[in-house]
Copies of this chain bind each other. A is one copy, B any other.
C-alpha cells in the first residue's frame, strides 16, 4: 500500500508543496519511493514519520533541528541517547513556553474580566 503526494498531503494535513519542501530540505529519512513515471509513492512508514515531524514542528521545533533529528535517525545505529537528549531538550523548551503562554493568558483573562464588567455596566445603565 502506498499513496500519491496528494493522498499523503490530505492524510498528513500538509500541502503537497510542503511535502516536497520537507524532502528537499532533508527532513525525510530517505528519498521517497518513486513510481515508474517518477511520481512519489508514500508508504505507511513515511506517513508515520511525517506525523512525528509534524508534531515536532507544531510544538515549535525549527526545521533545522528536525533535520538534525532526522540525520540521527537516518544514521540509525547506537545514537539513541543523542536522539533522546534532543527530544528531552525540546520537551523542556515546550513546557517552559506552555507555562509562559499560560501566564500571559491569565493576565489577558484578567483584562477580559475588566471589559466584561464595563460592558455589562454600560448595558444595565442604558
Binding-face segment, A15-23, A25-33, A39-47, A115-123: A115-123
Instruction: Known A-B contacts: A80-B118, A87-B115. Give 19 more (CB < 8 A).
Output: A52-B107, A55-B107, A59-B105, A59-B108, A80-B122, A81-B119, A81-B122, A83-B115, A84-B115, A84-B116, A84-B119, A87-B112, A90-B108, A91-B105, A91-B109, A91-B112, A98-B98, A98-B102, A98-B105
**Do the beta carbons of B58 and A100 come within 8 Å of each other?**
yes
What B residues does A59 contact at CB under 8 A?
101, 104-105, 108
Q: Taking the nearest CB of chain B, how far is it from the CB of A77, in angstroms?
A: 11
Residues 42-78 of A contacting B (Cβ, < 8 Å): 52, 55-56, 58-60, 78
